[in-house]
């Protein structure tokens, strides 16, 4: 198992070469801007395959890009990096309120708007690019009849804070 590229919130050191390369790639794909719907553009650009990122890491770099955006695109000039707090969200799309049909996915994101955008892509294309499938009561062919969505935290603490990571390591060690 490889080490995750997601930094701890307390690590504000300048970007390393890998992070700069990924951020420059995002800058290029998003045409040097911070669009409202950048996740879908990134997924279509095959950033996951190019840099061997998992869905959580893709969402992390998207948030990292937005928080540290420079018009010049020179991410190597940033001395004090802002690290996004990444949360585990449950995104529930309600298909038909009267029938209580819905689909649930987990998404790691910096905020609920990013989580919703990521789930929109996965829902529209029927893939798990950035989310993890939980359960589904949506019938095939009816998937575009979504009337509402609900986004909640699975954990109220960011996944990239030290004490959460230490607890997880201790749990694994005890096994």
Task: Tell me the per-residue pLDDT of 127-171, one tens digit each, with 9 for 90 and over.
Answer: 888 888 665 655 545 555 656 777 888 777 888 877 666 566 666
Classified as helix, coil or strand, 67 is helix
pLDDT digits (tens, 9 = 90+) for 33-86: 998 889 999 999 999 999 999 999 999 999 999 999 999 999 999 999 999 999
Run of H or E including 40: helix 38-44
pLDDT of residue 140: 47
The three-state DSSP-derived secondary structure of 96-159 is ECCCCEEEEEEEEECCHHHHHHHHHHHHHHCCCCCEEEEEECCCCCCCCCCCEEEEEECCCCCC
Residue 172's pLDDT is 65
Higher confidence at residue 110 or residue 100?
A: 110
Question: At residue 115, does pLDDT exceed 80?
Answer: yes
The Cα–Cα gap between 82 and 94 comes to: 35
The predicted model gives 83-103 an average pLDDT of: 78
What integer pLDDT is reported at residue 171 of this predicted model?
67
CA distance readout (Å), 58 to 72, 83, 119, 169: 22, 14, 13, 23
| CA pair distance 112, 152, nearest whole angstrom | 8
């Amino acid at each position: 198992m490889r080490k995750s590229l997601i930094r701890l919130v307390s690590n504000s050191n300048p970007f390393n070469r890998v992070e700069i390369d990924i951020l420059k790639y995002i800058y290029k794909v998003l045409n040097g801007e911070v669009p409202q719907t950048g996740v879908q553009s990134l997924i279509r650009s095959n950033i996951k395959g190019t840099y061997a990122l998992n869905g959580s890491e893709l969402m992390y770099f998207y948030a990292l890009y937005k928080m540290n955006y420079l018009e010049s695109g020179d991410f190597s000039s940033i001395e004090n990096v802002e690290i996004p707090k990444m949360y585990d969200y449950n995104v529930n799309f309600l298909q038909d309120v009267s029938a209580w049909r819905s689909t649930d996915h987990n998404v790691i994101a910096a905020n609920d708007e990013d989580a919703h955008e990521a789930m929109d892509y996965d829902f529209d294309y029927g893939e798990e690019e950035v989310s993890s499938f939980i359960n589904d009561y949506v019938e095939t062919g009816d998937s575009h009849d979504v009337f509402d969505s609900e986004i909640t935290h699975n954990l109220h603490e960011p996944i990239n804070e030290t004490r959460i990571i230490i607890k997880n390591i201790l749990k694994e060690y005890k096994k």
